[in-house]
Amino acid sequence: MARMILLGVGTAVPDEQRGHTHMVWDGPGGPMLIDAGGSTYQRLLQAGIDPRTLTAIILTHSHADHINGLPALLFSMSLAGRGEPIPIYALPETISVTARVLDAFGLEKYMVQPEWRPVSAHEELPLGAGWLLKTAPTLHTRPCFALRFSDVTGTHVLTYSADTAPYAPVQHLAHGSRILIHEATEHEPTTYHTTPREAGQVAQRAGAKRLILVHYSPHWTMPEADALAEVRAGGFTGIAEIGREQQVIEV
């Protein structure tokens, strides 16, 4: 069994119901944390995941809303008794920024030590049991990658866009996905984020069966009903929904 659990689904400006977007993969090779928004340790516990058992952390990029929970997470994991280092997969540019952030906290021995694993935006990482993780570059203001989790048959596929404007490599990565988790930050097109309508267009062109919007805010993007209507206006004919905190997505 493989599943993705949404820990936070909001934009860089949280609201009462949505924190910074991050999630945890719970399946072959997992549990693996994808980005680290605020209160990550607590959110993992609420999802039924013991943070001390994380096998890896994947950082899509170095913007504050995607890494701000990392220092506290590593600190809490250490205090809770985890002694072994944790692999952290990220682009070299992301590692450079994040390592400096961790150094600034001066935690030294009072945190689980990161094992930095530089990866490219065109990577393939085996997860075990025939599952594969692939990356692709996104179109954002900092180097960033999207993620695709697929089983050996290619029938169980989940893709996460990370932060991006509509971008051909992300759409190609998502091709044939059963589930596409796509950001929907903006109400008007930009060169670094996506609107709900554009997310619907990407999902339809990729042939996704189900579209889940994250990095979304009813205040900053548009109200939920309007966002779903925009997805339809973009031509998407599959299942469309707004992602929820602690939502469990079976792959």
Which pLDDT tens digit goes with each residue over 162-207?
999 999 999 999 999 999 999 999 999 999 999 999 999 999 999 9
Please report which confidence band the pLDDT of residue 77 belongs to, taking 50, 70 and 90 as the band edges. very high
pLDDT band at 29 (very low <50, low <70, confident <90, very high): confident
Length of the chain: 251
Enter the pTM of the model.
0.98
Could you give the number of structural domains in the chain? 1
77-81 mean pLDDT:
98
Give the chain's mean pLDDT: 98
Nearest to 20 by CA among 228, 231, 239, 220: 220
Q: Name the pairing type of β-strands 86-90 and 145-150.
A: unpaired
CB of 218 closer than 8 Å to CB of 187: no
Closest CA to 94 of 65, 61, 68, 119: 61
Contact assessment for residue 76 and residue 40, using Cβ atoms and an 8 Å cutoff? no
3-state helix, strand, coil in the chain (%, to 5): 25, 30, 45
How many angstroms separate the Cα of 42 from the Cα of each of 11, 32, 36, 38?
19, 15, 12, 9
Q: Are 63 and 93 in contact (CB under 8 A)?
A: no
Q: Is the preceding peptide bond at 31 cis, omega within 30 degrees of 0?
A: yes
Residue 154 carries which side chain, given as an amino acid letter?
G
Confidence of residue 1 (pLDDT cuts 50, 70, 90): confident
Contact 246, 218 (CB under 8 A): no
* Parent domain of 203: 3-250
Give CA 38 to chain center in angstroms: 14
The pLDDT tens digits for 204-223 are 999 999 999 999 999 999 99
**CATH number of residue 159's parent domain:** 3.60.15.10
Q: Does 16 score more than 90 pLDDT? A: yes
Radius of gyration (C-alpha) of the chain in whole angstroms: 17
In the block, residue with structure tokens 């506290």: 72
**Tokens at residue 157, please?**
């596929």
Tell me, what's the pLDDT at 55? 98
